[in-house]
Amino acid sequence: MLIRYPDPIAPSEITPREVYLNRRQFMGAGAAMTLALLGPTASAALPARTSPYSTAEEKNTLKEISSYNNFYEFGTAKSDPAEQAHTLKTRPWSVLVDGEAGKPRRFSIEELLKLAPLEERIYRLRCVEGWSMVIPWVGFPLAALLKQVDPTSRAKYVAFETLADPAQVPGVRERVLDWPYREGLRIDEAMHPLTILAVGLYGDILPKQNGAPIRLVVPWKYGFKSSKSIVRIRLQETQPPTSWSMANPREYGFYSNVNPTVDHPRWSQASERRIGELFRRKTLMFNGYADQVAGLYKGMDLKRFY
């Protein structure tokens, strides 16, 4: 997002499968636990039925999805996360869910994996920089987790925080952003059935560079809303500050809905380059999810609430 545009993917940026998947982690205790939870018949690491919310568009390859990343806690180049994310330890892991909740508590990653049936959600991801991908996530609705803690009537917003331990995510030593990486949603956006917490991708656990062990995915918003490696989710009455709008409020707002009619101050958002394709394609309102989400913004001036 420190804005290189356009930004063709160089062959040298493609990382071998062993590096991104980090087989040691996959073969380790975490995956064994996951397999145990899923039972002896599990063949893939994270078997899941494909949700009807999925797009039928051609998927990007695992190589593309896991070697062209934004995860500034590991550096600002697209290839940095795949090369550097090995320092992240995804077990043990837990997420504190607190704030305006009747039953705030901490969930271990093992509990999170059992919370709701895992689904494959094949979603478009549109980055604010002007590129897009189609990604087969494995995850479950964020609503399933929020319901567990009984949000109070004052819970109007949900704030998300990424791990900021310099030993594990060394990029936080650089003041590129105000860490921890922070994002937020309105409660109705958070409870929307399209909004998921992803724990896997292509039927396997999440590569670290994609936000292991658990990250947010909100397919009708620019990719930066999807916080990676989440350690805290807080329900609150007031709109939470977010890392990108704190860094540059003129360029990044709270809503960040994909909108081809509202330009970024420095470039148009009318079209996008699907990674792997030659020609640009038109960007769709709400990233093509307007039928499902336009109602959330009825009566709002989306040029003002960008």
CA distance 15 to 93: 26
Q: Decide: is 220 part of the binding site for ligand MTE (CB under 6 A).
A: no
What 145-149 contacts at long range (C-beta under 8 Å, 24+ apart), as own/partner pairs, is 145/97, 145/107, 145/112, 145/115, 145/197, 145/233, 146/97, 146/190, 146/191, 146/233, 146/235, 148/97, 148/103, 148/107, 148/115, 149/97, 149/98, 149/101, 149/102, 149/103, 149/104, 149/105, 149/235
CB of 299 to ligand MTE, least distance (A): 29
Q: Decide: is 107 part of the binding site for ligand MTE (CB under 6 A).
A: no
CA distance 71 to 68: 10
Using CB under 6 A, pick the residue from 90, 226, 257, 259 that binds ligand MTE: 226
Using CB under 6 A, pick the residue from 70, 84, 132, 242 that binds ligand MTE: 70
Q: Decide: is 69 part of the binding site for ligand MTE (CB under 6 A).
A: yes
Using CB under 6 A, pick the residue from 210, 256, 257, 259 that binds ligand MTE: 210
CA distance 112 to 215: 12
Identify which of residues 25 and 70 has a Cβ nearer to ligand MTE in the complex: 70
DSSP element (H, E) containing 215? strand 215-217
Per-residue contact string for residues 174-203; x = within reach of ligand MTE by CB under 6 A: -------x----------------------
Using CB under 6 A, pick the residue from 75, 139, 200, 223 that binds ligand MTE: 223
Q: Decide: is 221 part of the binding site for ligand MTE (CB under 6 A).
A: no
The torsion region of residue 60 among left (phi > 0), alpha (psi -120 to 50) and beta comes to: beta
| Count of residues of this chain found to bind ligand MTE when the rule CB under 6 A is applied | 17
Site for ligand MTE in 236-295 (CB under 6 A): none
Residue 64 CA, chain-centre distance (Å), reads: 16
Using CB under 6 A, pick the residue from 20, 25, 62, 72 that binds ligand MTE: 72
Q: Which residue has the tokens 């420095």?
A: 266
Per DSSP, the three-state class of 89 is coil
Name the one range near ligand MTE by CB under 6 A: 48-56, 187-195, 220-228, 286-294. 220-228
Using CB under 6 A, pick the residue from 162, 257, 269, 287 that binds ligand MTE: 162
Name the one range near ligand MTE by CB under 6 A: 25-33, 68-76, 116-124, 148-156. 68-76
Q: Decide: is 97 part of the binding site for ligand MTE (CB under 6 A).
A: no
Amino acid present at 66? S
Distance (Å) of CA 230 to CA 62, 109, 164, 233, 300: 22, 11, 10, 8, 30
Q: Decide: is 227 part of the binding site for ligand MTE (CB under 6 A).
A: yes
Residues that bind ligand MTE (CB under 6 A): 1, 69-73, 125, 127, 162, 181, 210-211, 223-224, 226-228
